[in-house]
């Protein structure tokens, strides 16, 4: 727990106390311990593939089964059991579930407390809307469910489950990672609502089959599609991890070759995402745009190292070689299908709005939207990054330069989106290249080289061409 900020420890403790209060009524007479134990064991069994390597590989093709796929078991418990008993169902599975990051014990306790409170809230919501009567015809007996009225308490339970999980997730992000509350909660509910509604319907199916003449074994059939969906989801994550590994390998190769712009690609990807979010792009496009920002300079792999690392100004021929890197990059990623629109951004991120850019001299809306975003992000990071041969500009100075060039070099909409994002989130300027190991010569250069306006074609300060390269 020492690695967790004090505010987060207090928050976890508070949620844990709430969870204990939720389950205390289970000690009263009349608790259906048999059904409780069976459902708790079932949920714990579903969590085991993520912890057991052999079963995880057997069921998921070497990718972990996602625990969220088995929330229908918890929601079925909310329909079948009193609230306190339903809340207890989540505890064993949450405590034995696999945790990748440390501190593992604190994370397991947090998960158990969070699911306990959310399941209790779901059970209370379905009781409030007459769930026991609608599901069983009168209390907790075995009678025919009242369709379609039973969908109302089922929907209320799923919504309560989703609301509580989203609220608690936002709280832990705000306290553990010290994010502003608005940022911590942004998008949590909208992203999780549809999956939890589906989980609610699956939980209702489990509850109906549980109370059918065939009994609890019939309810297990609902878990089969859950296992299939979790397998598909795991395969998606496995493929996504492969995509990330491919991109990391390419970026690392660029960083090794052009050490003076190390870290630049990741920051351009981050700035591109900030712009896209302000523009209201869809989440899938934002992810592809992040790839575009990260890989925009991958074509440097085709540029001779002696040109990238040259001390002193470039000759006209070396300049032309540098200007080929967008085309080199486009050829390198042409066959990577998941990049989609990112390929066009890699090819055209040095085009200018007035048509004087390269490689094809596109103008205005002829330039793809992703390329216009990456161009602004690229120029902004180039101006604000401190490298071993020059100092970075202050953020406000770089923003003023972008606004000055808006309409000629940059799309004004993209510049405005970046300005709004910076006002909202700020920006952490970073030292790149070998700043940590820089000796007296590098320090002297940082003090002597003045900061100039961005080069109209290279998007880096003009003075940055001497005494070192830092191109692109």
The domain of 401 spans: 258-465
Answer yes or no: do 177 and 286 share one domain. no
Q: Is the pLDDT of residue 201 over 50?
A: yes
- The structural domain count of the chain equals 2
Which comes out higher in pLDDT, residue 444 or 41? Answer: 41
pTM of the model: 0.56
Whether 395 contacts 381, CB under 8 Å: no
Confidence of residue 109 (pLDDT cuts 50, 70, 90): very high
Answer yes or no: do 15 and 140 share one domain. yes
Cβ-based neighbour number of residue 340 at 10 Å = 17
Domain boundary among 177, 207, 237: 237
Answer yes or no: do 352 and 280 share one domain. yes
Answer yes or no: do 25 and 147 share one domain. yes
Residue 242 lies in a domain: no
Q: What does the pLDDT read at residue 68?
A: 56
What's the chain's average pLDDT? 81
Spatial distance between the Cα atoms of 439 and 105, rounded to a whole number of angstroms? 44
Residue 248 lies in a domain: no
Q: Which of 251, 254, 203 is nearest to 226 (CA)?
A: 203
Residue 372 lies in a domain: yes
Q: What is the pLDDT of residues 150-192, one digit of tens each?
A: 999 999 999 999 999 999 999 998 898 877 887 788 888 888 8
Q: Is the pLDDT of residue 36 over 80?
A: yes
Q: What is the pLDDT of residues 380-435, one digit of tens each?
A: 998 998 765 567 889 999 999 999 999 999 999 999 999 999 998 888 765 443 33
Confidence of residue 45 (pLDDT cuts 50, 70, 90): confident
Domain boundary among 205, 237, 269: 237
Q: What does the pLDDT read at residue 143?
A: 60
Answer yes or no: do 218 and 345 share one domain. no
Answer yes or no: do 74 and 220 share one domain. yes
Share of the chain above pLDDT 90, in %: 44
Q: What does the pLDDT read at residue 137?
A: 52
Answer yes or no: do 298 and 438 share one domain. yes
Answer yes or no: do 211 and 98 share one domain. yes
Domain boundary among 178, 208, 237: 237
Q: What is the pLDDT of residues 289-348, one digit of tens each?
A: 999 999 999 998 888 888 887 777 888 999 999 999 999 999 988 888 888 899 999 999
Q: Which of 74-83, 89-98, 310-319 has the highest mean pLDDT?
A: 74-83
Answer yes or no: do 46 and 187 share one domain. yes
Whether 78 contacts 126, CB under 8 Å: yes
Residue 24 lies in a domain: yes
Confidence of residue 69 (pLDDT cuts 50, 70, 90): low
Count Cβ neighbours within 10 Å for each residue of 65-77 and write b for 16 or more, e otherwise: bbbebbbbbbbbb
Look up the CATH number of the domain holding residue 412: 1.10.3210.10
Confidence of residue 357 (pLDDT cuts 50, 70, 90): very high
**Lowest-confidence region among 91-100, 219-228, 376-385:** 219-228
Which comes out higher in pLDDT, residue 108 or 472? Answer: 108
Q: What does the pLDDT read at residue 342?
A: 93
Q: Is the pLDDT of residue 105 over 70?
A: yes
Residue 213 lies in a domain: yes
Residue 252 lies in a domain: no
Share of the chain above pLDDT 70, in %: 81
Answer yes or no: do 311 and 429 share one domain. yes
Residue 250 lies in a domain: no
CA 158 to centroid of chain Cα atoms:
24
Residue 244 lies in a domain: no
**Lowest-confidence region among 52-56, 249-253, 282-286:** 52-56
DSSP letter string over 208-252? HHHTSTT-HHHHGGGHHHHHHHHHHHHHHHHHHHHHHHHHHHHHH
Answer yes or no: do 116 and 49 share one domain. yes
Answer yes or no: do 228 and 326 share one domain. no
Q: What is the pLDDT of residues 437-462, one digit of tens each?
A: 333 333 322 233 333 334 433 444 43
φ, ψ for residue 284, nearest 5 deg: -65, -40
Looking at the DSSP bridge assignments, the partners of residue 410 are: 406
**Lowest-confidence region among 32-36, 114-118, 235-239:** 235-239
Distances (CA, A) of 330 to 171, 174, 259, 263, 306: 42, 40, 21, 21, 22
């Amino acid at each position: 727990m020492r690695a967790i900020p004090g505010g987060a420890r207090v928050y976890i403790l508070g949620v844990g106390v709430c969870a204990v209060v939720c389950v205390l009524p289970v000690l009263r007479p009349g608790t259906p311990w048999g059904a409780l134990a069976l459902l708790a064991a079932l949920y714990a069994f579903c969590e085991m593939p993520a912890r057991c390597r052999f079963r995880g590989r057997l069921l998921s093709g070497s990718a972990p089964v996602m625990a969220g796929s088995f929330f229908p078991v918890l929601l079925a418990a909310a329909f079948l059991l009193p609230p306190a008993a339903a809340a207890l169902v989540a505890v064993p599975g949450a405590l034995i579930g696999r945790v990748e990051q440390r501190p593992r014990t604190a994370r397991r306790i947090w998960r158990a407390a969070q699911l306990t409170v959310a399941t209790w809230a779901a059970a209370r919501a379905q009781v409030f809307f007459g769930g026991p009567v609608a599901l069983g015809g009168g209390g907790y007996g075995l009678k025919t469910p009242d369709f379609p009225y039973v969908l109302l308490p089922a929907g209320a339970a799923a919504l309560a489950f989703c609301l509580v999980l989203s609220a608690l997730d936002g709280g832990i992000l705000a306290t553990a990672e010290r994010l502003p509350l608005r940022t911590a909660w942004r998008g949590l509910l909208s992203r999780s609502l549809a999956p939890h509604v589906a989980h609610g319907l699956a939980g209702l199916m489990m509850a109906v089959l549980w109370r059918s003449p065939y009994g609890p074994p019939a309810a297990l059939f609902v878990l089969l599609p859950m296992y299939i969906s979790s397998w598909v989801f795991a395969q998606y994550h496995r493929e996504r991890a492969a995509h990330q590994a491919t991109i990391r390998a390419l970026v690392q190769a660029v960083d090794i070759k052009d050490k003076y712009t190390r870290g630049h690609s990741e920051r351009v990807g981050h700035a591109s995402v900030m712009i896209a979010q302000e523009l209201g792009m869809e989440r899938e496009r934002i992810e592809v745009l992040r790839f575009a920002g990260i890989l925009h300079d991958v074509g440097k792999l085709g540029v001779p190292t002696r040109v990238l690392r040259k001390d002193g100004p470039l000759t006209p021929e070396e300049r032309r070689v540098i200007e080929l890197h967008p085309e080199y990059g486009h050829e390198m990623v042409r066959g990577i299908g998941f990049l989609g629109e990112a390929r066009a951004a890699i090819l055209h991120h040095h085009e200018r709005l007035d048509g004087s850019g390269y490689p094809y001299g596109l103008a205005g809306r002829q330039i793809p939207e992703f390329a216009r975003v990456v161009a602004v992000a690229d120029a902004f990071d180039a101006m604000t990054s401190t490298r071993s041969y020059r100092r970075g500009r202050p953020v406000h100075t770089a923003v003023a330069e972008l606004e000055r060039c808006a309409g000629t070099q940059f799309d004004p909409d993209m510049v405005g989106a970046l300005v709004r994002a910076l006002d909202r989130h700020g920006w952490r300027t970073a030292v790149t290249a070998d700043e940590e190991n820089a000796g007296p010569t590098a320090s002297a250069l940082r003090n002597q080289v003045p900061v100039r306006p961005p080069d109209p074609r290279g998007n880096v300060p003009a003075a940055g061409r001497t005494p070192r390269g830092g191109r692109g």
